[in-house]
Each structure stands twice: as C-alpha cells, then as structure tokens.
Structure 1
Amino acid sequence: MTIKPLIKSLSAIAGIGMVSIAAHAATTELTVYSAVEAEDLKKYAARFNQDHPDIKINWVRDSTGIVTAKLLAEKANPQADVVWGLAATSLMLLKNENMLESYKPKNYDQLSPKFKDTSENPVWTGMDAWMAAICYNTVEAEKLGLPKPTSWQDLTNPVYKGHIVMPNPSSSGTGYLDVSSWLQLFGEDKGWEYMDALHNNIGTYTHSGSKPCKLAASGETAIGISFAFRAAKSKKEGAPLDIVFPTEGLGWDMEATAIIKGTDKLEAAKILADWAASQKANEMYNEGYAVVAMPGIAQPVEYFPANAEALMIENDFAWSAANRDAILTKWQQRYDSKSEPK
C-alpha cells in the first residue's frame, strides 16, 4: 500500500473511532419521572441538552398522584433515575420512605429557603410554584346566567349546580393542593363542610389538574377549578376566559427535583439536578410560572396578578404530606362517585 492510501485508511479508521466515541458519549440516558405539563417536556429537555448534549432524557410523564403512586410502588425496584417536576409534598412522602438521594445542587444556597429541603442532608430542591385559579368561561356563563365568582365560598352557590369541574386530588396534584389548602384556610371541620357544599355543584372530577381549565376554555363547562399556568396559557391562546384568583387566598405547591436513591447513573443525575437549580433553568420556569425558586429572577407573567406571591397561603407542606393518605381516603369515601372513569 502506498503512503496516500495508507493515510486515507488510517484517517477513515480514526474517523470511525471518533464517531464511535461520540456516539458512546451521547448514550448516557436518564429515566426522568415528571408531572410537568406534557407540552413543556420537549422544551425542558432541549434547554438542558444545549448545555449537556451527552445526556439523553427519557421522560415518564403523568399527573402528580399517578407518578407518586408509581414511584412508591417501585420502591423495592426503582425504575427512575431522577424526578424533575413533581410536587414537593410528593417528594416529602418519598423522603419519608428513604427513597431519595441526599444531594445539594451547585446553586442550592442561592435559592429561596421556602424552595428547598432545609434539613441537614437535603434530598429535594424546589423549582417554581404553581397556584390555584378558577377558569370562568364568559360566553358559556352568560348563556347560563352564571355570575362571575370572586371567592371559594361563592362556588357553593346553588346557581352553579352541575357547572363546575375540578381535579380529583388522588390523581392530581392540583386537586390535592386545593383540598389541603381549604382544610388549612377554613379549618378541618369547616373545610369538609365546604367541600360537601361544593360537591353539590360539581359536574365531574377529572384526573388531570389542567383538564378543568381546558374544558372551560373549550366551552364544555362554564367553570373549571385548575391552576394559574394553564389558565393563563388558555387565555393567551384566545379562549374566552376570565381568570379568578379567590379572595380567601390561593393554595399552592412547588414543583421540585430529586435524585432517586440507588440510581446507577448518579453522576449524570447530579448534572441534571445542578442544571435544574441553575439560573438558566429558573429563567425557563419563569416563562410559565410567576414565582420561581431563585430570588430576583422572576419577571411578570401575562395574565398572572402582579402580587401573585402575596396571594399564596402560608402552606404547611409537612402537615399536607403527613396527612395525605388520610385526607385522600376521606375524600374518596365522600366524593369519588362523581369522578370520571380512569
């Protein structure tokens, strides 16, 4: 073989080797469980991959309650590497089951205290807050003669009978933040009395937190109890919605990130946890959420109230997590008959 063909052969072999190395470098795959809105998953992965193209995210996405139940069912044989975007109250349950890896992301100290596990060995980190809202379809309401509510108590008015849809708290994190916030706002006895009265007006309970607002946006119901992100998005898309932030205060939870204990991809999981707590990630969260974990980042979000954070109740997350099973059992016994089929 002459020198030129030899050089070409060696170059080709080297090229194949480089492609093989690059392919190998790009094959770190993380199984990531999430309850983030489905249409945002591609955006989250794409932004992360701008900085870390060598880590592929394989999403497993469902409503909060379903993801939480799946994680608990897999305790003995975890399938997830990371949780990115699940209610902090759910992660507190997993923490109590010793299912989460202790890890402080690089920007941990820059985050607001209310958005992080402040224990000595933290296992979860907050991302953003999602808060309750009422989606009121002005066109359908006018047809039906339904006044615009301004408070949670207004929704117990018999005029709304059959015209309200809300999420089932067993499957929806939004539904659970509603129920737990009413029990905190009104007290436990009065809170259950309130839900008894509200139940009389409920048309159906959905298994998704966003669905009540989507149904209101499309005119399939006049009123949907949902959350502000979905309400603002539907209104921006042109739906004839007024977004109501009830005067008593807004229940809320935070989306959070954690690493599942036992993952065999710990280093890649830490890289994702670091990025999820970064300034770049918080700026991304602020594209849809008015309140994010890193102070000084949040800019006003269209159709959110300017004082969004001030409307959020003093939420006792520890109480909400500790009493979750008992609250859901009681809720199901009283109200589950109106839930849509799964």
Structure 2
Amino acid sequence: MKHTAKRLTSFLASVAFATAAVAETELTVYTAVEAEDLARYAETFNQSNPDIKINWVRDSTGIITAKLLAERDNPQADVIWGLAATSLLLLKSEGMLEPYAPAGVENLDPKFVDGDNPPAWVGMDAWVASVCYNTVEAEKLGLKPPTSWKDLTDPMYAGHVIMPNPNSSGTGFLDVSSWLQMFGEEGGWEYMDALHENIARYTHSGSKPCKLAASGEIPIGISFAFRGAKSKADGAPLEIIVPSEGVGWDMEATAIVAGTANLEAAQALVDFTVTKEANEMYNTGYAVVAYPGIAKPVEHFPEGLLDAMIDNDFEFAANNRAAILEEWQSRYDGKSEPKS
C-alpha cells in the first residue's frame, strides 16, 4: 500500500510539473483594432500557439496612445497590435519599443516596416480617409454631394457633418495632420475653422461618423473608405467620396513594449502578425495590407482612392502630434460628444 501511495504521489507530482510546464503565458495586448475582429485573431493565433493567452485592452487610437505614454515608467502592456504608425513613431522616439525583426518580415512591402534594423515596429494594413455621403438624407435636405474637402465648408452643410475627434481617434488625427500637410499650417487651421462651423459634433471613434451616415442620423460622415464600403455592401444608401485635394492615410502597426517580462511569447505573437495568414485576415477589414499580393478587390471601394493617397509625412505627424492635438482641442473641443 505504501509503495502504491508513493507511486501515486510521484505520478501526481509529475503531472503537476508537466501542467506547469505548459501553463499559459498571458500577454497583455493593447489595441485599437475594431472589437469584432479581436476574437478571430486570437483564435487563429492560438491554433499554433495554444500556450499563449491574449488579454486584450481595446480602445480608440488616441486613448491607447495616451495610456501607453502615461505608463511609460511602469509599462503594463507586452505588445501593441494594431495602433497607428504615427503613434508608434512617437513611442519609438520615447524609447518605449523593443526592436525585433519578426520571421518573414522580408516578405512585407518595405513601406510597412520601420527603417531601423532591427525594426521597432512592423505594419499590418492601411486605412484611408474618405467622406461617407447618405444620398437619401442629403436629397431630403436639398444638399449637393461635395467633391472636395473645401466643399464641406459651404454653409449649406451647416450642422450636417460629423467627423472624429483627433485626440481620441486615429482617423481624426490622420484627417487633421493631412490637412495641415495639404493646405500648409496656416491654411490648414483656416480650413478647420471653416469646417468647424458646419460640424454637428465630433465623435470618439473613426468608424462612427460613417456608421451614423449609413443609418441616416447625419448625411455626411468623415471617416475611412473601407467602413463606407462595408456599410454600402450592407445596403446603406451611401456614396463614398474621394475629395479632389487628396486623402490622408495611416497604417496599423505592431510592436513589442520595451521591458516586457514575456519577450519570447511577445515575439511569437509579432511573428504571427506578419504572416500571410494574418494579412489575409486583415484584408477582411482593410483594402490595403502589408503583404503584397494578398489584398483582394473590395466591393464598393471607391475608384481612384489609392492614387489619391497623399505622400504622408509620418515623421511630421509623429513629431508634432502633441502640439497639433493641443491646438485642435483649444479650438474645437466644445463640439465633442461626451466620452463614454
């Protein structure tokens, strides 16, 4: 009996040891990716990495960026997956990212990879500004479709335009930073002063203005093209307008947070983010992805949009982010909707 008990105790101890050896490593991942996409990303990653559990912390781009900066001296995240490249450039300049060249990074379009070797961040996909225009609601109000950004300052659109707040939304920030590049600093702020007169309110989500236009709550939502195409495919009476001056854009990107205690698991996750499989998943939400040859045509994606993408100066946007946001807030924040 004693020998049996000893063998049982030894067996249970070995099971406990084996269980501990394969116990989950938990990664805290900060993201601005659309909430509905997160579960499928984690599920696919876990098919080849069942011992790594992802704990998502999801919010809009501006909120996640501010959170990371506030935690600079005591990082809480292991990985950043799906944050604007302009935000990651800022974090890189603060020494907050752990350089890493993921396996397969050489397969990506070089413009989606940080220029340092090893890179501090790698891109995933790009989203591009556009105007979502509800043809039914606009006709009721006697509006004509705009063809340019400056058209949106016409008094006939007063109270009929919604756009994202750049302090909380990456889409809002790419709009503002692109207008400053297209129109010059003085001209950019003059443009936004005029546009502000027509703004009904500023949202804290980049997709929300288009969703509101799709539902008929507002005739015009400044958002991004893929959101408009998706809503139109679902039956919304939308026209997706590409303003004639050009359109701003940004890319979602991934990076490891410097100082993570789970470096090996973090590297495994970043390895996954650059795979062909992951990029095929990005393509269900974005028309432009980092892996060449993956992107499939998107129904209702506006013609000429990719040609209209400006030569975006990411360094300008990143280096001047704080000053731009402070100036924007001092001028226009009075029309922002309450934060949830």
TM-score greater than 0.5 by the shorter chain: yes
Q: What RMSD, in angstroms, separates the aligned Cα atoms of the two structures?
A: 2.1
- 1:29 is displaced (CA, Å) by 0.9
Q: Residue 176 of structure 1 aligns to which amino acid in structure 2?
A: F
- Residues 309-332 of structure 1 show CA distances to partners (whole Å, capped at 9, x for unaligned) of 322110000011001111111111
- Residues 147-197 of structure 1 show CA distances to partners (whole Å, capped at 9, x for unaligned) of 111211111111000010000101110000000011111111111111111
2:155 is aligned with 1:158: yes
Match of 1:332 in 2: 329
CA contact (8 A) 2:31 2:81 kept: yes
SS in structure 2 opposite 1:280?
helix
After superposing on structure 2, the runs of 4+ consecutive aligned residues of structure 1 that deviate more than 6 Å are: none
Q: Which moved further from structure 2: 195-204 or 282-291?
A: 282-291
Distance in 2 (CA, whole Å) between partners of 1:108 and 1:242 is: 37
Instruction: Compute the TM-score of the two structures, normalised by the length of structure 1.
Output: 0.93
- 1:233 is displaced (CA, Å) by 2.0
CA contact (8 A) 2:26 2:52 kept: yes
Q: Map residues 189-338 of structure 1 onto 2, 5 A cutoff.
A: 189-305=186-302, 307-338=304-335
Distance in 2 (CA, whole Å) between partners of 1:64 and 1:197 is: 26
- Residues 283-305 of structure 1 show CA distances to partners (whole Å, capped at 9, x for unaligned) of 11111211111112211112213
- Residues 52-101 of structure 1 show CA distances to partners (whole Å, capped at 9, x for unaligned) of 12211100000000000000000111000000000000011111110100
Distance in 1 (CA, whole Å) between partners of 2:251 and 2:278 is: 15
- 1:25 is displaced (CA, Å) by 2.0
Distance in 2 (CA, whole Å) between partners of 1:14 and 1:287 is: 48
CA contact (8 A) 1:26 1:53 kept: no
CA contact (8 A) 2:149 2:243 kept: yes
- 1:249 is displaced (CA, Å) by 1.3
Q: 1:128 aligns with which of 115, 125, 129?
A: 125
- 1:334 is displaced (CA, Å) by 1.2
Q: 2:107 aligns with which of 106, 110, 113?
A: 110
Match of 1:42 in 2: 39
The answer for unaligned runs of 5 or more in structure 2 is: none
Q: Which moved further from structure 2: 238-247 or 166-175?
A: 238-247
Distance in 1 (CA, whole Å) between partners of 2:14 and 2:210 is: 53
Distance in 1 (CA, whole Å) between partners of 2:130 and 2:77 is: 31
Identity rate, percent: 68
Distance in 2 (CA, whole Å) between partners of 1:323 and 1:93 is: 9
How many residues are aligned here? Answer: 337
CA contact (8 A) 1:291 1:308 kept: no
2:79 is aligned with 1:82: yes
CA contact (8 A) 2:25 2:52 kept: yes
Q: Which moved further from structure 2: 43-52 or 64-73?
A: 43-52
- Residues 233-270 of structure 1 show CA distances to partners (whole Å, capped at 9, x for unaligned) of 22222222111121221100000000000100000000
- 1:129 is displaced (CA, Å) by 0.3
Distance in 1 (CA, whole Å) between partners of 2:240 and 2:303 is: 13
